[in-house]
């Protein structure tokens, strides 16, 4: 609060007030100006314009479209003329020999195969030459040869940017599909919206059945077989994904709960009101600082050298980091306990251990439970990243899918599952927190739970 000298004359007082207002205006201008200067420095230091120029919007569009679509590959081996069709180019998604979708007319080995890409776009695999008829442009021809490479014939005029031609490769990319021709093979990609083969693969007896027919089959006693076909899907690996999510949750649970169990007794040694030895108290607090000062990702790398990759390493990394964090939180909670309750328990003749059990623990239980459940929710997300490093959980599958840069719909699938897992843990931790702290979920009890959470010692 600003005070003024009462002995000043009105003119002097007015001058002081003017100076005060001028100082406040300058301060109000200086803070936004400092922020703008800092942002300008960041803009130049990180070369934002250069990064924007290097960005490829075309690659971004392709990435986004790949997350909700799939490619059907029609591939011809130029050495023997054999043609195969598969989803995403994988053997697990290959059509049986001699079969293909209705937009592909297969010919025998060495004969003509016609691929209808719709809207007038047609690719023909001839005995010697591959042709792509493009409406409004003309026909692109390519003759692959082991000795002469790929001989391409294009309509007269400049080569458009959606056609790439070299001695050994021809690539044509249109809105209807893609054609790539090399010495050894010719391949056509056609995109479709959706996650194909998500429920059943092509070799499953239930592939292509509608929901009504599947329900009818399930009602006649085939429910177990239908679920087994879905559960063991070789393309989407639902069984492996479910186990990976379980590993991620297990890492978060073991690390968080284990850290809470270890940190609680150690926290007593870091408090002024329970530990009279200052040196031991100082050492314990610095130990907590050391544990929580090193990020869990660093502990993951360190522990992986000792224990090898796996979910156990991830759980231990979370345990070490959270032991330091919980030790700090619990020790602060212990320093704020009410001594009267402890004295009341002591007046009954209780021993020191009983005083802690009945006079201290009930006071800090809301803080303990709130923090454990909050960190369990947070560590569920952290376990995803840790799993990518240690080789366990859904993080490993996500990393593998990103590295291959082939099936981005699988990346979208894993990210969706991670978001759902975090949402579920958020709901579960909130529900459990209300149950354990207030014993129910009525309006009054929810209000009490919020009050308890607000009094918790949260760390940034």
353-412 pLDDT, tens digit per residue, is 777 778 888 888 888 888 888 899 889 988 998 988 887 889 888 888 888 766 788 889
How do the pLDDT tens digits run along the chain, 460 residues long? Answer: 555 456 667 776 777 777 777 777 777 788 888 889 898 998 888 888 888 888 777 777 877 888 888 889 999 988 888 889 999 888 888 898 888 898 999 876 667 899 999 888 999 998 889 999 999 888 999 999 878 888 888 988 788 888 999 888 999 998 888 999 998 889 999 988 888 889 998 888 998 888 899 999 999 989 999 999 999 998 899 999 999 999 999 999 999 999 999 999 899 888 888 888 889 989 999 999 999 888 888 998 888 888 888 888 999 999 999 999 999 998 888 888 877 777 787 777 777 777 777 888 888 888 888 888 889 988 998 899 898 888 788 988 888 888 876 678 888 999 999 999 989 988 888 888 888 766 654 554 555 445 444 444 334 3
Contact by Cβ (8 Å): 105, 117:
no
SS3 of residue 73 by DSSP = strand
- CA proximity to 325, closest of 369, 355, 383, 285: 285
Q: How many CB atoms lie within 10 A of CB 241?
A: 17
The Cα–Cα gap between 12 and 222 comes to 96
Q: How many CB atoms lie within 10 A of CB 396?
A: 20
Q: How many CB atoms lie within 10 A of CB 329?
A: 27
The Cα–Cα gap between 4 and 6 comes to 6
Report CA-CA distances (Å) from 209 to 55, 199, 217, 377.
Answer: 43, 10, 10, 39
* Alpha carbon 260 to chain centroid, angstroms: 26
pTM equals: 0.78
85-131 pLDDT, tens digit per residue, is 999 888 888 898 888 898 999 876 667 899 999 888 999 998 889 99
The Cα–Cα gap between 27 and 213 comes to 73
Per-position DSSP letters for 441-455, written without gaps between them: -SHHHHHHHHHHHHT
The Cα–Cα gap between 398 and 151 comes to 40
């Amino acid at each position: 609060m600003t005070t003024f000298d009462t002995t000043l004359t009105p003119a002097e007082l007015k001058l002081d007030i003017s100076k005060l207002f001028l100082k406040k205006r300058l301060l109000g201008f200086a803070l936004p100006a400092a922020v703008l200067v800092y942002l300008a420095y960041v803009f130049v230091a990180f070369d934002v314009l250069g990064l924007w120029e290097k960005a490829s919007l075309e690659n971004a569009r392709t990435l986004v479209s790949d997350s909700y679509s799939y490619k059907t590959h029609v591939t011809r081996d130029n050495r023997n003329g054999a043609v195969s069709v598969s989803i995403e180019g994988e053997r697990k998604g290959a059509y049986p020999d001699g079969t293909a979708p209705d937009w592909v007319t297969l010919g025998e080995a060495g004969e003509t195969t016609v691929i209808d890409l719709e809207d007038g776009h047609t690719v023909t695999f001839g005995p010697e030459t591959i042709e792509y008829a493009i409406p409004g442009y003309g026909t692109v021809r390519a003759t692959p040869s082991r000795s002469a490479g790929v001989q391409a014939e294009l309509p007269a005029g400049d080569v458009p940017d959606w056609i790439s031609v070299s001695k050994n490769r021809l690539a044509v990319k249109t809105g209807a599909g893609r054609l790539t021709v090399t010495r050894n093979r010719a391949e056509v990609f056609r995109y479709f919206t959706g996650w194909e083969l998500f429920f059943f693969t092509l070799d499953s007896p239930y592939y292509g059945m509608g929901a009504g027919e599947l329900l009818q089959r399930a009602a006649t006693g085939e429910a177990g077989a239908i679920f087994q076909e879905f559960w063991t899907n070789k393309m989407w690996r639902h069984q492996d994904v479910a186990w990976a999510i379980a590993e991620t949750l297990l890492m978060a649970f073991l690390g968080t709960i284990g850290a809470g169990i270890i940190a609680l007794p150690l926290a007593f040694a870091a408090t002024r009101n329970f530990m009279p030895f200052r040196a031991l108290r100082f050492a314990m607090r610095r130990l907590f600082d050391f544990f929580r000062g090193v990020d869990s990702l660093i502990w993951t790398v360190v522990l992986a050298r000792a224990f090898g990759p796996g979910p156990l390493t991830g759980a231990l990394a979370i345990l070490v980091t959270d032991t330091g964090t919980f030790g700090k939180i619990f020790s602060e909670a212990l320093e704020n306990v009410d001594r009267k309750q402890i004295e009341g328990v002591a007046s009954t003749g209780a021993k020191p251990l009983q005083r802690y059990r009945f006079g201290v623990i009930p006071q800090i239980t809301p803080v303990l439970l709130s923090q454990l459940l909050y960190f369990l929710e947070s560590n569920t997300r952290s376990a995803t990243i840790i799993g990518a490093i240690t080789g366990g959980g859904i993080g490993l599958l996500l990393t593998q899918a990103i590295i291959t840069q082939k099936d981005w719909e699988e990346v979208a699938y894993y990210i969706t599952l991670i978001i759902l897992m975090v949402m579920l843990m958020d709901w579960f931790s909130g529900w459990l927190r209300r149950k354990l702290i207030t014993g129910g979920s009525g309006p009054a009890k929810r209000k009490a739970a919020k009050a308890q959470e607000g009094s918790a010692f949260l760390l940034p």
